[in-house]
Structure 1
Amino acid sequence: MRLFWCAVLVLAGCDMGGPAFIGLEPMRISVGGSDFTVRQRNDRAEVIRTNMEWAPDAGAVADKMLIAIQQTTGCTVRKGTLSGDQAKAVARLKCVDDGTYAIKRR
Structure 2
Amino acid sequence: MKKKLSVIAVIILVLAICVSAWFYGYYNHKSNDNLPTLAAIAEMSEADVNSLLPGYHIDQLREVWGKPDTSENGTACWKIGNDTILIVSYKNNGIVAICGLKDDSGTSIGE
Question: TM-score, structure 1 length as denominator?
Answer: 0.37
Return the index of the structure with the highest Cα Rg. Answer: 2
Query: Which has more helix, going by share of residues?
Result: 2
Query: Which has more strand, going by share of residues?
Result: 1
Question: TM-score, structure 2 length as denominator?
Answer: 0.36
